[in-house]
């Protein structure tokens, strides 16, 4: 279809009111501040987890918001996201989630509308989207127990006039309907009438010429919009008309008979007019979209807030995640697991992690064997802290607390590079220099294999100096190391603590369990006992070990004591976790009971109003006809009876509430009309006539009071 006949109006440049661009809308990694470097977030697997969450979103913008989430966001926006997410999780548990099917990429459509006419399918997608906005507003109105979600969904403009214009102009497949333009139906009727006439006439000609042996085939041939006859070249004189084509051999000519040519020209002219009229319709609809572009984009953004919340709720249900409490400078994880390990191995095969940072100590030095899980500890803590700062759920247990970070920096993995001539040590040191330059109070710093790649004593000295500097700057730090000197670091430094990955020397297998407060011994001699070393070698090794400073024996003794204490602490935390879960179930049951009570009350009120409407309607409908055939005295008694009956109805508790509702009704209020299954706005109150003038979009109607109600439609109804 040609797009040159009319141009859409220029693209609006102002942003929609009420939803200014946020950090979450910026996708470029370069937009991140130096305190949240993109490479650190990537090393912590944040991007992969955000992609996982985004797959559970239903709207295009909801998916984009999740993919663009960043821990560096406005505190108020973060708190609103958290509250919406917690409400969505409660709605999921109560099996009250709405559907988001039918959402369109409104911002993209609005951008295209500024450059070209929108196609029927695109406009139909927009109409479906506006229907979704309306349905979600009805869901929100029926679920006031979740106010943050309701606030977002009810604030989305429904663009009723545009929706009705689109529905009146488009069919189920995006085709333009006859009634969309005053002339369109007539033009299409002409096309059908002339096409039928042409089909009949060419059929008659084909029969005649075929009987005379002039045709190669009986059926007409269609080329584009033209109907042709395959005529033998030797019989061309019998079929007078225009030759459009010939066969390769030249034996067959494809001829459009003269009278058919005239009919085809009429059809072509009518179809050209039809296309022009359709283009006028598309132009008007595209202009209408641009006129309401701000409202459309605002509505899409508000829907994306809710969609993101429900996507996170689905993810949280899959990973048994929670929304943690956010505090300044305090980190406390209970039964935390890395979500990607959960997805790969399942909860039963993934060891949980519990630790605290920022209360009794700000630095945790973790030791343990290779492949024992030290790096997983760093990634789990860093990832969950980043998710919490994004306002998203974390795969941890109830009671978990995470800090509001001023920054998150990590040196994880081998930083050596042949291209830049960096050794492992130089690569780590280069990253540490960047961290020390940007660190500030409240920054979470994660250091993997601190001090490795060089002489152990010098590496330990540099590592200790780095840790002391981070403590002095007020950072929260977790560092992994193999160096024995750093194992004893926390024994002499305040605000520091040791931890180790549990290791079973009998089986030579790590348990992947973090033991906070338990310094890690090397277990080298115990491991060596499982290998066939020469006689006397192990005895000599033990003797040499005893000649040392006894640090290893001290670590073993302290570790044994701390391990016993850790077991007792974990038992206490398990009991506390059970108590929290029991309290949560009680609160959820109470919330569900309140919700059900509200539904029952609404159902009772609606039943009363339906009964009231029916009784009063029958009284008004039949009172005059019943009285007409009665004597004067009997008429008076009938009227008195009906008046008493109406008074009894009005005197009930719900009746009094109805009267109060009518007295408080004013212009601009929105009421629900059950018969129309729609909400309409009050334009005028005619109290003497006991009627209301109501408007909804282009609809203006006057209804008696008994036709309206204050009760919202039941959940799931199309309002």
Convert the pLDDT of each residue in 476-519 to its tens digit.
999 988 776 777 777 778 888 888 877 665 555 556 778 787 66
| Residue-level pLDDT at 28 | 34
For 101, the token pair is 């099917």
45-159+292-317 with 321-520: one CATH topology?
Answer: no
| Residue-level pLDDT at 168 | 92
Q: Find out if CATH 1.10.10 is the number for domain 45-159+292-317.
A: no
pTM metric for this prediction? 0.70
Q: Decide: helix, strand or coil at residue 519.
A: coil
Average pLDDT over residues 410-436: 67
For 53, the token pair is 């969450």
Highest mean pLDDT among 2-6, 15-19, 407-411: 407-411
pLDDT tens, position by position, 49-103: 999 999 999 999 999 999 999 999 999 999 999 999 999 999 999 888 888 888 8
If pLDDT is split at 50, 70 and 90, which confidence band does 341 have? very high
The rounded distance, in Å, linking the Cα atoms of 666 and 682 is 7
| Residue-level pLDDT at 25 | 39
Highest mean pLDDT among 445-449, 499-503, 578-582: 445-449
If pLDDT is split at 50, 70 and 90, which confidence band does 415 have? very low
Quick one: CA torsion of 363, 364, 370, 373, rounded to 10 degrees?
-120
The rounded distance, in Å, linking the Cα atoms of 79 and 443 is 20
Q: Decide: helix, strand or coil at residue 688.
A: coil
DSSP 409: E
The rounded distance, in Å, linking the Cα atoms of 325 and 404 is 10
Neighbours of 675 (CB within 10 A): 9
The domain locations on the chain are 45-159+292-317, 184-277, 321-520, 655-719
Q: What CATH class is the domain 655-719? A: mainly beta
The rounded distance, in Å, linking the Cα atoms of 589 and 45 is 36
The fold for domain 184-277 equals: MutS, DNA mismatch repair protein; Chain A, domain 3 (1.10.1420)
If pLDDT is split at 50, 70 and 90, which confidence band does 421 have? very low
608 against 304, higher pLDDT: 304
Residue 706 has pLDDT above 90, yes or no: no
| Residue-level pLDDT at 597 | 60
**Facing residues of 256 across strands?**
242
Q: Where are the beta strands (DSSP E) in 201-330?
A: 221-223, 226-232, 241-246, 252-257, 325-327
The fold for domain 321-520 equals: Rossmann fold (3.40.50)
- Contact (Cβ atoms closer than 8 angstroms) between residue 289 and residue 113: yes
Average pLDDT over residues 538-543: 71
- Contact (Cβ atoms closer than 8 angstroms) between residue 62 and residue 308: yes
| Residue-level pLDDT at 591 | 67
How far does the chain reach from its first CA to its final CA, in angstroms? 38
Distance, CA of 409 to chain centre: 28
| Residue-level pLDDT at 19 | 40
- Contact (Cβ atoms closer than 8 angstroms) between residue 100 and residue 59: yes
Q: Which of 310, 384, 316 is nearest to 354 (CA)?
A: 384
| Residue-level pLDDT at 10 | 38
Residue 186 has pLDDT above 80, yes or no: yes
């Amino acid at each position: 279809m040609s797009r040159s006949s009319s141009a859409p109006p220029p693209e609006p440049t102002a942003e929609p009111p009420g939803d200014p661009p946020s950090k979450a809308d910026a996708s470029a990694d370069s937009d991140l501040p130096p305190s949240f470097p993109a490479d650190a977030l990537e090393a912590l697997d944040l991007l992969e987890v955000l992609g996982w969450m985004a797959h559970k979103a239903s709207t295009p913008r909801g998916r984009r918001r999740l993919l663009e989430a960043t821990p560096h966001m406005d505190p108020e926006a973060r708190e609103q996201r958290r509250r919406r997410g917690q409400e969505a999780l409660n709605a999921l548990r109560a099996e009250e989630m709405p559907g988001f099917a039918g959402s369109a990429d409104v911002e993209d459509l609005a951008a295209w509308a500024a450059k070209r006419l929108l196609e029927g399918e695109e406009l139909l997608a927009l109409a479906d989207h506006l229907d979704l906005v309306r349905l979600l507003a009805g869901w929100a109105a029926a679920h006031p127990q979740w106010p943050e979600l309701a606030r977002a969904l009810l604030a989305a403009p429904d663009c009723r006039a545009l929706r009705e214009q689109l529905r009146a102009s488009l069919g189920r497949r995006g085709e333009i309907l006859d009634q969309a333009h005053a002339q369109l139906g007539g033009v299409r009727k002409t096309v059908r009438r002339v096409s039928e006439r042409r089909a009949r006439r060419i059929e008659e000609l084909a029969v005649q010429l075929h009987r005379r042996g002039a045709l190669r085939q009986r059926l007409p041939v269609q080329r584009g919009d033209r109907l042709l006859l395959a005529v033998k070249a030797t019989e061309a004189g019998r079929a007078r008309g225009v030759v459009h084509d010939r066969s390769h051999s030249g034996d067959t000519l494809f001829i459009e008979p003269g009278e058919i040519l005239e009919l085809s020209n009429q059809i072509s002219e009518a179809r050209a007019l039809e296309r022009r009229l359709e283009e006028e319709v598309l132009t008007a609809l595209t202009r209408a979209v641009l006129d309401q572009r701000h409202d459309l984009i605002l509505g899409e953004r508000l829907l994306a807030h809710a969609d993101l919340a429900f996507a996170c709720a689905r993810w949280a249900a899959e990973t048994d995640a929670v929304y943690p409490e956010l505090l300044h400078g305090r980190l406390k994880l209970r039964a935390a697991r890395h979500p990607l390990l959960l997805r790969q191995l399942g909860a039963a095969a993934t060891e949980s992690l519990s630790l605290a940072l920022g209360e009794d100590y700000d630095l945790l030095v973790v030791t343990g064997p290779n492949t024992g899980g030290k790096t997983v500890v760093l990634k789990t803590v860093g990832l969950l802290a980043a998710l919490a700062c994004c306002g998203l759920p974390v795969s941890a247990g109830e009671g978990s607390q995470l800090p509001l970070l001023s920054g998150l920096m990590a040196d994880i993995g081998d930083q050596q590079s042949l291209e830049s001539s960096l050794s492992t040590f130089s690569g780590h040191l280069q990253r540490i220099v960047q961290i020390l330059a940007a660190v500030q109070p409240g920054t979470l710093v994660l250091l993997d294999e601190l001090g490795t790649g060089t002489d152990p004593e010098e590496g330990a000295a540099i590592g200790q100096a780095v840790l002391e500097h981070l403590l002095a700057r007020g950072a929260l730090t977790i560092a992994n190391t193999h160096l024995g000197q750093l194992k004893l670091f926390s024994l002499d430094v305040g605000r520091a603590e040791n931890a180790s990955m549990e290791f079973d020397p009998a089986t030579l297998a790590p348990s992947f369990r973090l033991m906070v407060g338990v310094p890690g011994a090397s277990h080298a001699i115990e491991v060596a006992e499982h290998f066939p070393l020469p006689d006397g070698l192990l005895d000599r090794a033990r003797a040499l070990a005893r000649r040392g400073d006894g640090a290893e024996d001290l670590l073993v003794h302290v570790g044994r004591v701390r391990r016993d204490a850790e077991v007792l602490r974990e038992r206490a935390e398990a009991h506390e976790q059970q108590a929290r879960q029991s309290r949560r179930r009680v609160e959820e049951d109470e919330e569900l009971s309140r919700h059900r009570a509200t539904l029952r009350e609404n159902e009772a009120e609606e039943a009363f109003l339906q009964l009231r409407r029916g009784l009063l309607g029958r009284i008004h409908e039949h009172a005059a006809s019943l009285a007409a055939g009665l004597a004067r005295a009997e008429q008076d008694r009938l009227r008195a009876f009906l008046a008493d009956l109406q008074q009894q109805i009005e005197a009930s508790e719900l009746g009094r509430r109805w009267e109060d509702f009518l007295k408080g009704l004013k212009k601009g209020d929105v009421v629900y009309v059950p018969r129309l299954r729609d909400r309409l706005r009050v334009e005028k109150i005619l109290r003497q006539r006991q009627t209301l003038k109501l408007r909804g979009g282009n609809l203006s109607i006057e209804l008696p009071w008994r036709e309206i109600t204050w009760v919202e439609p039941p959940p799931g109804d199309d309002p």
